[in-house]
Amino acid sequence: MNFQGKVVLVTGASRGIGAAIARAFAKEGAFVIVNYLQNEAMAERVASECIELGGDGWAIQGDVTSESAVNRMVEQVVLETGKIDVMVNNAFKPFQFDPENRQLAWQLQWEDYQAQIDGAVRSTHYMCQAVVPIMKKQSQGSIINMISNLVERPIVPYHEYNTAKTALLGYSRNLAAEVGAFGIRVNCVAPGLVYPTDASRTTKEELKEIIIAQTPLKRIATPDDISGPVMFLASAWSRFMTGQTLYVDGGFVM
């Protein structure tokens, strides 16, 4: 794939899946905007790695759950680069995939759901509201929203997290139907358990083994496994795809 001359904005890109996606785009020549919330040093390191890989990288702080912060960030990017070709909504509210310490359905408060909905759907909405007008002027653009294969097969009922990601799937499909006429495509990538990430560090070996046993490709995904499908959806190779979800979980959901 060739992303020379393309501007790619990845939220939550200072570590884990977001960092892997940023590096993969840079390796194909993209100018990658590395959004982060708190860890400036890690984001700057990812941006430097993007440059070393042959693309360009720019770390920009911004709270994606704040509408004003999102607008400032996008305005800054467009002022510097003149456009945004691809946006990957990867940031989400921190969550630990720990089945033994998860909250059960009858223990949850609405505020627990609201926090995850804000982290997944509210943040994506603010980003899309800021970026779609730019993509409309360009008559092209690709938006990729990161969800989870748990929306299809909740092997562990992480209620608040799964509910938020399912809502994001619905949001993405409706947005795809709305903006397709402007040459803007909206798709989702749904990873299974990805290790190592901050969210999966507390996942017990027993659960990993159960997932591996039920996965045709017989392993758990790494962050680098996720970047290829994201780039495919951002590229001209998928130019007639919108409103779709790619499950990247080794066949766990099929």
Give catalytic status of residue 161 as yes or no. Answer: yes
Which residues, 6 or more positions from 124, have their beta carbon under 8 angstroms from its beta carbon? 89, 145, 168, 171, 172
Kindly report the length of the chain.
254
Does residue 25 contact residue 224 with C-beta atoms inside 8 Å?
no
CB-CB contact of 44 with 19 (8 Å): no
Q: Is the separation of the CB atoms in 16 and 37 below 8 Å?
A: no
Cα distance between residue 65 and residue 62, in whole Å? 9
Q: How far apart are CA 204 and CA 206, in angstroms?
A: 5
Q: Report the relative pairing of strands 245-248 and 86-89 from DSSP bridges.
A: unpaired
Using left for φ > 0, alpha for ψ between -120 and 50, and beta otherwise, residue 149 falls in: alpha
Q: Taking every pair of C-alpha atoms in the chain, what is the biggest distance, in angstroms?
A: 51
**CA distances from residue 140 to 127, 199, 211, 233, 236 in whole angstroms, order as listed:** 16, 34, 38, 13, 11
Q: 36, 126, 158, 161: which one is catalytic?
A: 161
Active-site residue list = 161
